[in-house]
Structure 1
Amino acid sequence: MDLDNMRDSYSRIAADYAAAPPGEGRLTVERALIGIFADRILTGADRTVADVGCGPGEHTAVLRERGLDAYGLDLAPGMVALARRNHPGVPFEVGSMSDLGRADGSLGGVLSAYSIIHVPRAERAGVLAEFFRVLAPGGLVMLVFQVGDEQGRREDFNGHAVGIDWYRLQPDEVVGLLRAAGFEMWVRAVHESQGPDPAPQAYLIAVKP
């Protein structure tokens, strides 16, 4: 994964990215499933949740509203700066999903919404192993991604020059990677393509035993 290019590209487009909301149908499903994810974590002892690849921070803020000690982590300083402006009082930090910088077993949850779509196939197992490492027993990971087999590179975003590699993923493959990392599956859902969303969206929630 070209971290430098990804970091610079997302910093450059942070404001335009935040101004392009997804379709309402997808948001309805997403909010409901993130609510299930949050409610399950609230039953456990550790309520600290990392929103990995948090972007402008909307999901991080929602998790805190539901009573979790959530913080946002993003590779792009521009995204983190925007998230801090949009959500005062919510903690955000710059960092990489491949090294979360947290102690073993220190989190109750990890949310990764549309961030693993930038991880090449050869690196995905390592990222999921890092999520597993930082979760306490009983902790949850939630992955959200577009379904498909395509991959590509975006070089323009609303007139901004970027270099963003992306990958669509198959739920069966990702479930296999989660199980290989040591997780047990809990929830699996797919929202079919509607409106502005060009591909189905997958939602996977797994538990660290």
Structure 2
Amino acid sequence: MPVSQTETVLTPEELQTIETYNQHARAWADQHNTADYWQTEFDQFQELLPKGRVVEFGAAHGRDAAQLAARGYDYLGTDVATELLAVAAERLPALEFRTMSLYELELPDQAFDGFWASAVLLHIPRSKLAQALREMHRVLRPGGIGFLSVKQGVGEEMVTDPDLAGGSGPRYFVYYQGEALTTELQQAGFRVRLQYVKSVSNKTHWLVYFVERAD
């Protein structure tokens, strides 16, 4: 299991984001419980990967975990926000959740047939993106399928959302244009199978990717 022996130092922005999710874990979970938010994407994922072992990066409170398990996947959920994972484990006791960093996944090489990474890479500094993608690539078998989504836009910022239930501290966001992220994915060893923009409101536009490990 060749993971880095040197733990990646998190930036203050990353630490603040994790703290925000942990402080408001239950309120966040209650507000973000729309089971069919990614319904079209779940269907597409299953078309590309009908069955198999799937790891979720950024499992949070388990909303997507429930959907993946219901579709018959052998599931493992990971996240760095321990309080969110505690909610997931409480609500879905039959599933396995582990606390771990996307920068150093404590998982074997090529152990999974697929991965699910909804709204995860948008919290990772652009300078660390390649490292995270390398780890995602490492644990996926050749030909394995991955789903990921990030917010479309330019730049990066700390955002405090006053509309979140329970109040919200600041969270760090990095925004992407499709061409730039496609290049990063290809350099990490992924082949883009499908990419499109999913608009859910006037201000929220998701860049959606389905990728395949190319080697």
Report if TM-score (shorter chain) is over 0.5: yes
Per the TM alignment, residue 34 of structure 1 is displaced from its structure 2 partner at its CA by 2.0
Identical columns (%): 22
| Residue 208, structure 1, aligned to residue 183, structure 2 | no
Deviations 1:39-89 (A, max 9, x none): 32226xxx1111101111111111111111111111011001001112221
Aligned residues: 201
The AA in structure 1 aligned to 2:175 is: R
Deviations 1:136-172 (A, max 9, x none): 0111121111111142113565565634211121121
| Residue 130, structure 1, aligned to residue 135, structure 2 | yes
SS in 2 for 1:162: coil
Partner residue of 1:168 out of 167, 175, 187? 175
SS in 1 for 2:107: coil
Partner residue of 1:12 out of 18, 23, 35? 23
The AA in structure 2 aligned to 1:14 is: A
Q: Distance in 2 between matches of 1:22 and 1:61?
A: 11
Per the TM alignment, residue 98 of structure 1 is displaced from its structure 2 partner at its CA by 1.2
Q: Is the 8 A contact 1:52 1:115 kept in 2?
A: yes
Partner residue of 1:66 out of 66, 71, 74? 71
Q: Is the 8 A contact 1:6 1:76 kept in 2?
A: no
Q: Is the 8 A contact 1:188 1:202 kept in 2?
A: yes
SS in 2 for 1:42: coil
| Residue 41, structure 1, aligned to residue 49, structure 2 | yes
TM-score, normalising length: structure 2: 0.85
Q: Distance in 1 between matches of 2:50 and 2:173?
A: 33
Q: Which runs of 5+ in 1 are unaligned?
A: none
Q: Distance in 1 between matches of 2:63 and 2:211?
A: 22
Q: Is the 8 A contact 1:141 1:205 kept in 2?
A: yes
Q: 1:114 to 1:161 in 2, by over 3 A?
A: closer
TM-score, normalising length: structure 1: 0.87
Q: Distance in 1 between matches of 2:177 and 2:33?
A: 21
Q: Is the 8 A contact 2:58 2:80 kept in 1?
A: yes
